[in-house]
Each structure stands twice: as structure tokens, then as C-alpha cells.
Chain A
């Protein structure tokens, strides 16, 4: 197995000792098939046990290991060293406050995921036999938006969130869209009251970075543009019907 020597410049921050973050360099011997997460794990196990960071599944489903790799928001278990140069800069996710080393404060987005009412909302009672039927075609309409693993790499990529973090943001809006498109749901109008309001979809200027960095191809930018159209349609529907539909 081939080995490569990588030099990792890792951002460190100890809230009890440091006034601001700083970079520490590590020289890491890597196997050629490693992901950058493996190199960070090597540092933790062999070079510096004080390094703090989040990771778990190592297979792109838990969403824990998001970081900035050479300035690019990335899932570190999905970023392979064969695609990276010998010098790698590792920083915590952009646009979030740093808790410690590579760990960021995620409370803001965790709260926003709840604000969009991410559950089936019904006006009619459930079907008589207690089971909703949904065709495969109806499932395909919203399936891609269910793939979000909440890694929040999209928030790191979104400059509008960086400029003003009251923006609800890509992942939360995609989650809302997932429910708006679900054939079992009847809450689109209710959700749009929040989404088509301040800090909702209108804060998005379609930079599109979120969709480019998403490791699960959720395409939040598409979700948001579709909701802008829905929001515009909903406005005229309510205006013309003289009230809520």
C-alpha cells in the first residue's frame, strides 16, 4: 500500500486558554486510500490526544464530521486524500461559532430545523383504515429532500447565512420543502407563512454553493427556488381568495 506524507494545518482553539484560534501543524503518514478523517484520527491517536472534533459513522450517513478542508466545506469522511494536495488546511465549519478546536456551536440551526414544522400536517382526518397510501411516483417527488443528514456543510457554504445568520438556511428550507411535496401533507400554506416571511426563502440569492457542496445531492438551492415560486403563487392565491386557503 502506498504511503503519502501529508502536512495538516489544523485550527486549534481552547476557550479556557486562547483569546483567538491558531494553527498547529502535524506531519501525518497516510495510506493512499485514506479519507482526510483518517488523517485527523491518526493525529488524535498518535500525535496529539488533545485535538477535539466530531465524527461517528465514517460512511456519510451521520453528518457529524463536517469541516473546512482547504477552504471548502466538506464531509471529512467523504473527502479523500487522493483528491488533496500534500498541504491540507483543516478548519471548523465556516459561519458557526467555534466551541473548541474543530467543534462548532450548532444550536442555531438545530432550532431552525424545528421552526419549519417538519412533520405531516393534516386538515382532514387520517384515512379510515389508519394507513396513508402513497405511490412510488408520489414518493419520488420528494425523496431527494429526505436524504439530508444534517451535516450543515451547506450552511458553511452559504454566504447569505454568513452575512446574516437570522436566515433560516438551506437544510431547514429543504426539510420544509420535503414536507410540502409529500402527498400525505396538507400543511404547505401553513408552512409558507413562516418560509415566505422575513429570514425565509427571500433571503436566498441563489448563489447555489449549498447544492454544490452537499454530500448527499439534496440540492437545497432547487428546494428554495421552488418554494419562492410557491410563495409567490400562495401570495396571489390568498390575495384573490380574500383570506387563507
Chain B
């Protein structure tokens, strides 16, 4: 039986890596546009609130952000290992906990919108 946890977290890592590779550059560019006072029109409050109130907006955001969080968590675990931090179990529990909290927060705020 393949080691259960490793197969699952790697799967999330791979899915998250694929999604972030495709979606995050656009996301970061949108933040750059906001930061340079070129906020796109559909990111003004009424437009973005309307979009995020709908099912598709919520579903897409949830999938993208939660997979991104799990990808980052698993990768950070490997980074700690590569930097010589040997307490793998402690690191793993810490990073996955943060990813779980992030996932819960995402669901919570999306529910509120």
C-alpha cells in the first residue's frame, strides 16, 4: 500500500502547481494594476462583489486558492528539508495546518460574500 499521506499531499501539490502556473501570473498582474492605480473596471466594488456572489466565482476562487495553499505548504516542507531542517513531522504538521486554516478562511469569506 503506497504511503497514504505522501500520495495524497503530492497529488494536491501537483494539482496546485499546475493551477498556479496557469493562473497566478494573471493574478499578480491584476495586483500590479491595482497598485499602479490602474484598477480594472470589473474590480471596482459593485462589479467584483456581484461576480463573487455568484456560484462560479466562488467555486473557481475556492479551487484555485485552496490548491495553491496546499501546493505552497508541501513545497515549503521540502524547502525546509533542503535547508537542513530535519524535523520533518513538525514542519509537515505546521505547514499543512496553515494550509488548512487558509482553506477554511477562504470558504468562510466566500460564504459571507
The answer to whether A and B interact is yes
How far apart are the CA atoms of A196 and B6 in the complex, in Å?
8
How far apart are the CA atoms of A238 and B82 in the complex, in Å?
32
Task: Report if B24 contacts A (CB, 8 A).
Answer: no
A contact residues around B3 at 8 Å (CB): 196-198, 202
Binding stretch for chain B, among A56-64, A125-133, A228-236? A228-236
In the complex with contacts A202-B6, A205-B78, A205-B82, A232-B1 CB distance below 8 A:
no
A95 shortest CB reach to chain B, Å = 15
How far apart are the CA atoms of A163 and B1 in the complex, in Å?
26
Interface centre among B1, B14, B81 (most CB of A within 10 A): B1
Number of interface residues of A (CB under 8 A): 17
Nearest opposing residue in chain B for A193, CB measure: B1
Q: Does B4 lie within 8 Å of A235, measured CB to CB? A: yes
Q: Does B1 lie within 8 Å of A228, measured CB to CB? A: no
Task: Report if B57 contacts A (CB, 8 A).
Answer: no
Interface centre among B1, B2, B81 (most CB of A within 10 A): B2
The 8 A CB mask of A131-145 against B (1 = contact, 0 = none) is 000000000000000
Task: Report if A192 contacts B (CB, 8 A).
Answer: yes
The 8 A CB mask of A195-222 against B (1 = contact, 0 = none) is 0111000100100000000000000000
B contact residues around A193 at 8 Å (CB): 1-2
Chain B facing A: main interface SS:
helix
Q: Does A197 lie within 8 Å of B82, measured CB to CB? A: no
Using a Cβ cutoff of 8 Å, how many contacts connect chains A and B?
41
How far apart are the CA atoms of A231 and B11 in the complex, in Å?
10
Q: Does B78 lie within 8 Å of A192, measured CB to CB? A: no
How far apart are the CA atoms of A192 and B82 in the complex, in Å?
25
Nearest opposing residue in chain A for B3, CB measure: A197
Task: Report if B31 contacts A (CB, 8 A).
Answer: no
The 8 A CB mask of A162-197 against B (1 = contact, 0 = none) is 010000000000000000000000000000110011
Q: Does A238 lie within 8 Å of B78, measured CB to CB? A: no
How far apart are the CA atoms of A159 and B79 in the complex, in Å?
13
How far apart are the CA atoms of A14 and B9 in the complex, in Å?
46
Task: Report if B35 contacts A (CB, 8 A).
Answer: no
Q: Does B78 lie within 8 Å of A235, measured CB to CB? A: no
The 8 A-B residue pairs with the shortest CB-CB distance, nearest first, are: A196-B2, A235-B7, A202-B6, A232-B11, A235-B2, A232-B7, A231-B2, A205-B78
**11 chain-A/chain-B pairs, Cβ below 8 angstroms:** A163-B81, A163-B82, A193-B2, A196-B2, A197-B3, A202-B10, A205-B82, A232-B10, A232-B11, A235-B7, A238-B1
